[in-house]
Amino acid sequence: MIKYNAVQKKYLYKREDIDKIIEHIQNGNFYNEDNCTQEKIMSLAKMIDDFMNRIKIISENVVLERNETEEEARKYFGDEFISKFDQLLTSLDNQETVVAIHGTSTELCPNICEEGLEYRTPSLSSTAVQQKMNWGQKEMHYEDYEGLLNWKHKQYKGLVILAIPYECFYKEGLWNHFQDSRASAYGVADYKIDPDFIVGYIDVTNKNIVLNPKYTRQHHYTDYVEDNELFRKQDNMDNESLKQAMRKRTIQPNAEIHSNESSQSEEKEFDMSRTPYIIEELIGEFNSIKLGFPDGMSESRYNDFLEQLSYGFNEVLKNISLLKTEEQVKEERKERLSMFNEHVEENNQSEQSDFTDIEWDDNIDWEDTTFQETHKEIHH
């Protein structure tokens, strides 16, 4: 990370404005469709508009941090490190393996090389990042040294290098299910990638690659568990077939990209049934501002807020004519009440009709107990 001085905008807001908006939404019961009327939405829009108009923008001197550029990261590691790492990747690519990197503290790396990489589920993507490979076509030249220097997960400086054999994608297991602690606390690691899959680790701080003497390309695979995500059993597959298939995928990515872009560019009709959820999500949005930026929003947070409004609430406002008015809701309630009353009246008339249709015998002995019991049953 590189520190630098900068002038930054700060967006000062009125806390009471946020409190009013949150209270308005909480009391509005917008999950009830009848409460999502044009008038109530416009009332909320007016409150948000007032909040925005009362924001005061100031400038202040701050010390910020940024990640190094790719050029700066390459300069940090140096030519010798880059050459060594590229040679290692090329060797692993030719061994028909896919490299994955797990970030951790440098102090833990030697033990992982010795004992294996443990995790609570057999899922490589949850604990390591697969790297782009050349599938044996040419020498490897790594392209993301900025990513190595500024590892996305906790800025870790110990990067464990794993070599995942091609056969683990279609035929063999990868994980050693070395214990079963399901009865114990959640989070216990029951699976591990054994040391013979671990090439070594990168010490980012000292710009050094430490190789693991336990690594080998030959694995026994006995009782190993397949990876939850990368494994797809294919009986007719072999390493050469996988390599050829992956080469074709890397040669023709643009067709898929353009296809996705064209489908995403098609404008979709806004789903107004999402309105109650969009309104309720505003509570979390305003609370995050109040709690995370109590003294005023940074420029990036302010822009995020505008994007959030644009993604949801502004779409509701654009299509507000599709919502009911207060008058329409009143009329619908009257109509529902009228239908209910008619239904009740029909039931009452039906019950009376059933009772009056009984044929009475003029010779009934009204003191007779059998008749009295029958009479009770009719009424009950």
Q: Tell me: the pLDDT tens digits for 288-344?
A: 999 999 989 999 899 999 998 887 888 889 888 888 898 887 888 787 777 777 666
pTM of the model as a whole: 0.58
What is the pLDDT confidence band of residue 371, given thresholds at 50, 70 and 90?
very low
Q: What is the pLDDT of residue 359?
A: 55
Residue 231 exposure: Cα atoms within 13 Å on the Cβ side: 17
How much of the chain exceeds pLDDT 90, in percent?
55
Residue 374 has pLDDT above 50, yes or no: no
User: How much is the average pLDDT of 243-257?
Assistant: 64
Query: How distant is the alpha carbon of residue 261 from its chain centre?
Result: 21
Three-state secondary-structure class, residue 193? strand
Rounded distance, CA 147 to CA 154, Å? 12
- What burial letters (b/e) apply to 243-280, b meaning 16+ CB within 10 Å? beebeeeeeeeeeeeeeeeeeeeeeeeeeeeebbebbe
Q: What is the pLDDT of residue 197?
A: 98
Q: What is the pLDDT of residue 257?
A: 34
Q: What is the pLDDT of residue 250?
A: 65
DSSP state of 225: B
Q: What is the pLDDT of residue 1?
A: 76
| 107 vs 32, residue with greater confidence | 107
Residue-wise pLDDT tens digits, 65-97: 788 999 999 999 999 999 999 999 999 999 999
Residue-wise pLDDT tens digits, 147-205: 999 998 888 999 999 999 999 999 999 999 999 876 545 557 899 999 999 999 999 99
- What are the residues whose beta carbons fall under 8 Å from the beta carbon of 186, sequence distance 6 or more? 120
Residue 243 has pLDDT above 70, yes or no: yes
User: How much is the average pLDDT of 98-114?
Assistant: 97
Is 64 in contact with 1 (CB distance < 8 Å)? no
- Report the candidate in 8, 44, 19, 23 with the shortest Cα–Cα distance to residue 301: 8
Q: Across all residues in the chain, what is the average pLDDT?
A: 85
How much of the chain exceeds pLDDT 70, in percent?
83
- What are the residues whose beta carbons fall under 8 Å from the beta carbon of 206, sequence distance 6 or more? none
Burial zone of 39 (CB within 10 Å; 0-12 exposed, 13-18 middle, 19+ buried): middle
